[in-house]
């Protein structure tokens, strides 16, 4: 009788243990065990085609491209392949699965002193409708320029066509450089103060501003852009909130007070008159970081059925991390740190056509600690949404 009771008791305990256990997802089970705190620097080198690894149990991340030199921005062709700018003055072609074409698509004449060089890139929204153009933000000997280039459909070749915006001062620091097409079809351009703090409050200067070029302007010769907002130090990232169309930007503060700003037409964001949370008569930021993280490129997650849908994700250089901001309307209600210290300095994050996020490192820019495979592109797959909430 005791033997029977023992067997029954053991059976019950095993059943209870099985009910409480959670099976790892297939992607996690396929990965070799890692020690706590393991970083990319100590992990085996990853490359195109490597399986995704589970990070923090809530999203997937993989290195898909290595061997870049200070990549700054990325834009996607209709095929899903990508054009990536390198600050020394090269445009590179990267396939949708991360394979880097050995030879550059083109080399761009640039003045790459300090923080300048070949910076932002974006495709014309009518790329497939007879407007096969890419727009590049370039530091030249005469200042910052936005240039229009023709692009082969497969991204294999580019040719300089015309300068569509000039007259922006350049400097060894704070050249900004991000540009994006908005939902209104206009081209938005971020400019920094170029190290001259008088320019953001100077209404005759294009520096320290968010600028807008209408389709008629960016498809013609050099024209005077519209100033959307002023009082910016070094804005680095921008994207529009899905549904509302609100424009949010990221901005470098001085030794503190990095910002996320909700951009409103005609408003002044105060630099260099104010910094921090209290902006007085100037427009205050939506989010502030007292300890400098140097926020750079940013994107909203528009992928449906994801836990991150509608969130604002920004890359941080000094912080060496991503931040995922949850918003309630225009208000930031949560801020989660991702990839902290795992890949070094992060310059850009852009949502790809398949809903993944491509993150560019910037470890060879003179301020990082590069490893052999730098610079890299990391691809993140946001976690799937809770099916019970659908």
Q: To the nearest whole percent, how much of the chain has pLDDT over 70?
A: 84
- Report whether pLDDT(54) > 60: no
Residue of 73, 106, 101 lying closest to 87 (CA atoms): 73
pLDDT band at 149 (very low <50, low <70, confident <90, very high): very high
Place of tokens 């497969």: 154
Higher pLDDT, residue 88 or 27 = 88
- Residue 30 pLDDT more than 80? no
Q: Residue 140 — φ and ψ, nearest 5°?
A: -115, 175
Identify the domain containing residue 320 by its residue range. Answer: 50-383
Q: Give mean pLDDT, residues 350-358.
A: 97
Average pLDDT of 112-128?
Answer: 94
Residue 132 lies in a domain: yes
Other CB atoms within 10 A of residue 328 CB? 9
Cβ neighbours for 340, distance < 8 A, ≥ 6 positions apart: 319, 320, 321
Domain membership flag for residue 1: no
Of residues 55 and 316, more confidently modeled: 316
* Chain centroid, CA 133 distance in Å: 21
| Distance between CA atoms of residues 17 and 152, nearest Å | 59
Sign of CA dihedral 78, 364, 195, 222: negative
Best CA proximity match to 322, nearest among 380, 370, 372? 380
Show the tokens assigned to 253: 């503060």
Lowest mean pLDDT, pick from 16-25, 115-124, 197-206, 369-378? 16-25
Predicted pLDDT of residue 216:
87
Asked if residue 199 has pLDDT above 90, the reply is yes
Sign of the four-CA dihedral 150, 178, 186, 305: positive
Residue listed under structure tokens 């209104």? 184
pLDDT per residue as tens digits for the range 121-140: 999 999 999 999 999 999 99
Question: Does the pLDDT value for residue 16 go beyond 60?
Answer: no
What is the pTM (predicted TM-score) of this model? 0.85
- pLDDT score of 9 more than 90: no
15 pLDDT more than 60:
no
Q: What is the pLDDT of residues 56-85, one digit of tens each?
A: 447 889 999 999 999 999 999 999 999 999
Q: What is the mean pLDDT of the chain?
A: 86
> CA 142, 217, 158, 350: dihedral to nearest 10 degrees?
90
Question: Which pLDDT score, from 0 to 100, does residue 59 have?
Answer: 86
User: Do the domain assignments include residue 323?
Assistant: yes
| CATH at 134 | 2.120.10.30
> Is 39 within the bounds of a domain?
no
175 within 8 A of 139, measured Cβ to Cβ? yes
CA 232 – CA 252 distance, rounded (Å): 9
What is the DSSP code string of 268-294? B--TTT--SS--TTSPPPSEEESS---
Distance CA 180, CA 146 (A): 11
Q: How far apart are CA 128 and CA 110, in angstroms?
A: 28
Residues 51, 54, 55, 60: is their CA dihedral positive or negative? Answer: positive
Give the span between the Cα atoms of 86 and 118, in whole angstroms. Answer: 6
Confidence of residue 387 (pLDDT cuts 50, 70, 90): low
Residue 15: inside a domain: no
Nearest to 357 by CA among 64, 34, 85: 64
pLDDT digits (tens, 9 = 90+) for 305-328: 899 999 999 999 999 999 999 999
Q: Among 21-30, 49-58, 238-247, where is mean pLDDT lowest? A: 21-30
Higher per-residue pLDDT: 68 or 27 = 68
Domain assignment present for residue 352? The answer is yes
For residue 255, pLDDT over 90 is answered with: no
Instruction: Flag whether 151 is in a domain.
Output: yes
Q: How far apart are CA 255 and CA 354, in angstroms?
A: 37
Token output for 294: 């140097």
In a domain, 172, yes or no: yes
pLDDT at 116 over 90: yes
Total domains present in the chain: 1
Report pLDDT digits (tens) over 217-232.
998 776 789 999 999 9
pLDDT above 60 for 202: yes
Tell me how long the chain is: 390
């Amino acid at each position: 009788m005791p033997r029977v009771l023992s067997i029954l008791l053991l059976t019950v305990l095993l059943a209870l243990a099985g009910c409480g256990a959670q099976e790892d997802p297939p992607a996690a089970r396929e990965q070799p065990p890692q020690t706590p705190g393991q970083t990319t620097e100590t992990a085996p080198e990853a490359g195109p085609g490597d399986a995704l690894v589970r990070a923090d149990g809530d999203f997937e991340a993989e290195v898909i491209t290595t061997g870049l030199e200070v990549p700054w921005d990325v834009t996607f062709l209709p095929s899903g392949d990508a054009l990536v700018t390198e600050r020394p003055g090269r445009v590179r072609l990267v396939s949708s699965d991360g394979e880097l074409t050995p030879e550059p698509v083109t080399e761009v004449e640039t003045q790459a002193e300090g923080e300048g060089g070949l910076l932002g890139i974006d495709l014309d929204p009518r790329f497939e409708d007879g407007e096969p153009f890419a727009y590049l933000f370039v530091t030249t000997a005469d200042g910052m320029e936005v240039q229009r280039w023709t692009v082969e459909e497969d991204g294999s070749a580019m040719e300089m066509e015309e300068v569509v915006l000039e007259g922006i001062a350049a400097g060894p620091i704070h050249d900004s450089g991000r540009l994006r097409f908005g939902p209104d079809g206009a081209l938005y351009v971020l400019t920094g103060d170029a190290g001259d703090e008088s320019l953001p409050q100077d209404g005759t200067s294009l520096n320290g501003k968010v600028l807008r070029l209408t389709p008629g302007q960016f498809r013609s010769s050099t024209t005077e852009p519209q100033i959307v907002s002023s009082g910016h130090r070094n804005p680095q990232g921008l994207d529009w909130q899905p549904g509302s169309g609100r424009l949010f930007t990221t901005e470098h503060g001085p030794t503190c007070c990095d910002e996320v700003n909700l951009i409103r037409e005609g408003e002044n964001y105060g630099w260099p008159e104010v910094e921090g949370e209290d902006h007085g008569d100037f427009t205050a930021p939506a989010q502030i970081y007292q300890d400098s993280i140097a926020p750079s490129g940013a994107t909203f997650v528009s992928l449906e059925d994801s836990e991150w849908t509608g969130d604002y994700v920004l890359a941080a250089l000094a912080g060496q991390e991503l931040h995922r901001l949850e918003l309630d309307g225009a208000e930031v209600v949560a801020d989660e740190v991702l990839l902290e210290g795992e890949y070094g300095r992060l310059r850009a994050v852009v949502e790809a056509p398949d809903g993944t996020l491509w993150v560019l490192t910037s470890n060879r820019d003179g301020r990082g600690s590069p490893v052999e495979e730098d610079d890299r592109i990391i691809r993140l797959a946001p976690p799937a949404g809770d099916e019970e909430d659908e």
